Amino acid sequence: MSQSRQPVYRLNKGGRIDRSRTLSFTFNGQHYQGHPGDTLASALLANGVDIVNRSFKYSRPRGIVAAGAEEPNAIVQLGSREAAQVPNVRATQQALFDGLTARSTNGWPNVQRDLMGLVGKLGGQFMPPGFYYKTFMAPASMWLTYEKYIRKAAGLGRSPMEPDPDTYDHFHQHCDVLVVGAGAAGLAAALAAARSGARVMVADEQEEMGGALLDSRETLDGKPADQWVSQVLEELVGCENVTLLPRTTANGYHDHNFVTLHERRTEHLGETAPLENGLRQARSRMHRVRVGQVILATGAHERPLVYAGNDIPGNLLAGAVSTYIRRYGVAPGRQLVLSTSNDYGYRAALDWQEAGCEVVAIVDAREFPAGDWVDAARAQGIKIITSSAVIEAKGSNRVTAARVARIDIDAYQVCGPIQVLACDTIASSGGYSPVIHLASHTGVRPIWRDDVIGFVPGGVKGMQACGGANGTYALGDVLAEGVEAGIKASVATGHAAQAVSLPSAKRLQQGVAVALFQVPHEKPTLRGPKQFVDLQNDVTAAGIELATREGFESIEHIKRYTAMGFGTDQGKLGNINGMAIAARCLGLSIPEVGTTVFRPNYTPVPFGAIVGRHCRDLFDPERYTALHQWHVERGAEFEDVGQWKRPRYYPQARAGATNGERESMSEAVARECLAVREKVGILDASTLGKIDIQGPDAREFLARIYTNKWEKLAVGKCRYGLMCKDDGMVTDDGVTSCLADNHFLMTTTTGGAAAILEWLELWHQTEWPELEVYFSSVTDHWATMTITGPNARALLAEITDINLDRDSFKFMEWRTGNVAGVPARVYRISFTGELTFEINVQANYAMHVWQTLFKHGGKYGLTPYGTEAMHVLRAEKGFIIVGQETDGSVTPEDLGMQWCIGYDKPFSWIGKRALVRPDTKRENRKQLVGLKPKDPKVVLEEGAQIVFDPNHAIPMPMVGHVTSSYYSPTLNSGFALAVVKGGQQKLGETVYLPMADGRTFEAEIVSPIFYDPKGERQHV
């Protein structure tokens, strides 16, 4: 830790910082000071921190280049402690706060003395594009190992290893007009839209709204431009129909004008969100905005010139130099050389000179620069070197000189003597690239305009671009375009346009810019010093040239081969230069080469903001039955069935255990199974789907939707039904009861409830609208308690007025009455093969009824059982579970359920036609059978493949698989259900199950009904 140093490059006056307050921060372990209003980048520059990172591939020292989202180098890792780590933050976008702690994401062991730098220096020329693919190709299995070290060396930031203490949010927003960017164009557009009464949202990614007007040399109505900004913001803040979102980046522009905005709510205040009124607030918020009209006022990024050594710290964008001086009161050097192709670049020199620093020279690529700012520079006595460019920057950890030469752009060569100008800062400007990223997200290709030397957004329905984003740079024109866009958007969303009077901007005389991208060097590109195109991904001009020579002609292929514009950078500074270089090498024009596709997100978004509060306990809904609390208190282990939490089993303290040890699952399940077979068990079956079906055609509808017959089901009776999709494959099953002639209650599988209701509606609404029938879900209305086992009748009889006599209340019937004093429908249906009553009461009474059953159940051995015991019990009876015995390729006949198919029903039913196809009729289909392992102790693996001949050469013909397999405490043996080719004709035959560990199990094909084959127990 060194002593705090006096900021060396901080100007005494100027800028929008508060010099009366000092903020302390730490970068790479060193302590520094800055002021409110600073970004981390401006504070680092003020403190003379030249090197902020090491480059991705060559590990070269890198400094700050830009002042905004386009910064390629100053990408830092924030956080003073593990839980607060945030990767991939651009120092140019991070407001300074007291105590901010940041590190370079790259550089090991540190940025000043980087070991990898040696590799970069020595191996640089041996690391052409595709280096990793070519070098680390073989053996393929080693790639993961290589990658780990390559990544560590490259440094891409890292995620925290501890839980994030902050919360994040989503907001669902809707507006008529969304203005992205609050610079001159955006504010003008917002003003026009706001006055029309439209619902307006304005998102701006910077700490302060105003964009370039905050550091402009220009005046509006003769006053500094930022005064107009304040005046407009004041009006907008007062509008009820306007939502202003500062520190908010529009990161994704999706279909149908759906835009995602990332609002950094507290990132400027501290590492974690501070409390507000003692209440927790969200650190970041994702606004998911459905927009009528999108106005892109995203401005333009200045394009750097590509010259040798242009990555040495001290090379900056010309506009960034102006921004640091005028907005942050920092002149990041002493002696400036400016290399420019246009008039706008001159501002950097003028601002530099006014800040009291030395402008060594302006190097202009044009032969006859002329214009107001050129004149101003001449008047200041600044030396202007024409028809020339900085061809190379010299220096290692900081620029020490610029090599300047006369160049011929058309011939692409250096054509004059080289002079060396001592300097510590080189600013460059190759013109502007409109920020077209958002428009490109929609898939629309941008359009090249020769007059602005850049791509402008292509047409998107419901979107307008204005100002810099549209290639319009003159302030007066920008404002007018903004107002026009605001008015158009208002009218398009049904609002009346209102007058907006614009402040007058002086029209500047400007010379024509020249198209200059890569600056020629006296050596050929492939032999000369590195000229960087994409600083973040370490892509050089030579790399692009090499790619074209190796046959990559499509810009998309060149991008992938070189990594240009990859990752978090998304080609903000480099893409146009890269395309221009590819175009030159291929002998094409830039529009012929075209652009790559910019993808969301525009800048990195923390996972927290993407996730919102859909995490931890709220990751997914947990559906509970009315008895959930009882299950929890009883110590149930739960199973996810769809979104439901169902008790899987209820482990008890192990007999004789003094240390609170509980039963294993198999012990608990065995105990629960035996209780049902020998005494009485109780299951919470409330999760089964229940659909109330009413109408005179209800019965006819059931006959069409189910495979079996419903014509004769009398009131008071229940029937099992099987449902197929139109392909003849089983999709659901359940018991449906006839409540009245026009009234049925259908039960579905737990997981299928919602889909089956939709299925019924689909067929009713599209195919059979003439049937008079309605469906409503009553799943949640009823709580269902299944009591099953030999003692079920005696137990229920104690608390009901229903006559439970076996001859008056038969199997597959239902009755109403009171159970525990609560009105109930009781169904005598069975999924265990035992005597069973399913008690249904309105869910709000469920707990009372359940507890009453337990009050009376002790003497009958009443035992709660979960889904695992339920599975064993039903499998012993050969009852299928849809989704376990079936997988969308199983017909009712495959299941041996011919008894459940009404082939002769008068009206066709869903699946009937498919079931007479040759394929569904063929003999060798996989059919449901039981499997009895030869060794009764073996429990076969569910999903295990079955073969007839274990000695067959590999690959063995697989003839089926195990669908369900359990240990049965009743049979004292393992047993399984399976599907086997032609299995129903193979009873008694032996099959083999070769396992992954080399063992092979033998099993006999048997009937799938293992217990009580005659079904006597459920009829008692």
Partner 1 sequence: MSNAATFDTRTDSAIPMESPLAYSYRRSGAPATGPASRVTLRERALLGHLIVRGGAIALDEAVRGVLGISLPGQPQTLVQDASGERSIQWLSPDEWLVIVPGGEEFPLETRLRERLGSAHYAISDVSGGQTLLELAGEAARELLMKTVIYDVHPSHFPVGKGVTTVFAKAATMLRRPDEERWELVVRRSFADYCYRWLLDAGAEYGVNVEQ
Question: Where does this chain bind partner 1 (CB under 8 A)?
Answer: 167, 169-174, 199, 276-282, 288, 290, 613-614, 617-618, 620-626, 628-629, 644, 687, 692, 694-696, 715, 739-743, 772, 774, 776-783, 816, 818, 820-823, 825, 841-848
Choose between 40 and 193: whose C-beta lies nearer to partner 1: 193
> Parallel, antiparallel, or unpaired for β 358-364 and 384-385?
parallel
Contact 970, 677 (CB under 8 A): yes
- Token pair belonging to 594: 């075209």
- Residues near 163 by beta carbon (within 8 Å), at least 6 away in sequence: 83
Output phi, psi for 204, to 5 deg. -135, 135
Upstream peptide bond of 397 is cis (omega within 30 degrees of 0): no
Q: Which amino acid is at 283?
A: R
Choose between 254 and 280: whose C-beta lies nearer to partner 1: 280
Closest approach, Cβ 757 to partner 1, in A, equals 12
Choose between 289 and 730: whose C-beta lies nearer to partner 1: 289
Closest approach, Cβ 249 to partner 1, in A, equals 19
Choose between 275 and 411: whose C-beta lies nearer to partner 1: 275
How far apart, in whole angstroms, are the C-alpha atoms of residue 981 and residue 767? 36
Closest approach, Cβ 788 to partner 1, in A, equals 23
Place of tokens 């507290």: 266
Q: How many residues does the chain have?
A: 1020
Closest approach, Cβ 745 to partner 1, in A, equals 9
Rg (C-alpha) for the chain, rounded Å, is: 38
How far apart, in whole angstroms, are the C-alpha atoms of residue 540 and residue 525? 9
- Token pair belonging to 615: 């995490």
Output phi, psi for 413, to 5 deg. -160, 160
Helix and strand tally (H, E) in the chain? 24, 49
Closest approach, Cβ 208 to partner 1, in A, equals 25
Choose between 212 and 685: whose C-beta lies nearer to partner 1: 685
Choose between 632 and 1020: whose C-beta lies nearer to partner 1: 632
DSSP state, residue 140? G
Choose between 315 and 687: whose C-beta lies nearer to partner 1: 687
Choose between 90 and 495: whose C-beta lies nearer to partner 1: 495
Query: 3-state class of 54 per DSSP?
Result: strand
How far apart, in whole angstroms, are the C-alpha atoms of residue 231 and residue 241? 17
Closest approach, Cβ 606 to partner 1, in A, equals 18
How far apart, in whole angstroms, are the C-alpha atoms of residue 423 and residue 333? 9
- E-state strands within 711-781: 718-724, 730-740, 743-748, 774-777
Closest approach, Cβ 697 to partner 1, in A, equals 9
Choose between 58 and 827: whose C-beta lies nearer to partner 1: 827
Closest approach, Cβ 265 to partner 1, in A, equals 10
Choose between 276 and 367: whose C-beta lies nearer to partner 1: 276
Choose between 416 and 494: whose C-beta lies nearer to partner 1: 494
Closest approach, Cβ 689 to partner 1, in A, equals 11
Residue among 668, 255, 599 nearest 440 (CA) = 599
Choose between 592 and 741: whose C-beta lies nearer to partner 1: 741
How many of the other CB atoms lie within 10 Å of CB of 566? 17
Alpha helix stretches (DSSP H) within 613-708:
628-633, 665-678, 698-705
How far apart, in whole angstroms, are the C-alpha atoms of residue 432 and residue 478? 14
Dihedral angle over CA of 266, 272, 274, 280, nearest 10: 100
Torsion 650-655-660-662 (CA) sign: negative
H or E element that contains 675 = helix 665-678
Closest approach, Cβ 783 to partner 1, in A, equals 7
Place of tokens 């009895």: 932
Contact 393, 428 (CB under 8 A): no
How far apart, in whole angstroms, are the C-alpha atoms of residue 970 and residue 1010? 10
Choose between 646 and 1017: whose C-beta lies nearer to partner 1: 646
How many of the other CB atoms lie within 10 Å of CB of 622? 13
Choose between 64 and 799: whose C-beta lies nearer to partner 1: 799
Closest approach, Cβ 613 to partner 1, in A, equals 6
How far apart, in whole angstroms, are the C-alpha atoms of residue 528 and residue 310? 13
Closest approach, Cβ 16 to partner 1, in A, equals 30
Supply angle C-alpha 571, 572, 577, rounded to 5.
70
Closest approach, Cβ 638 to partner 1, in A, equals 14
Closest approach, Cβ 644 to partner 1, in A, equals 7
Contact 540, 128 (CB under 8 A): no
Choose between 301 and 825: whose C-beta lies nearer to partner 1: 825
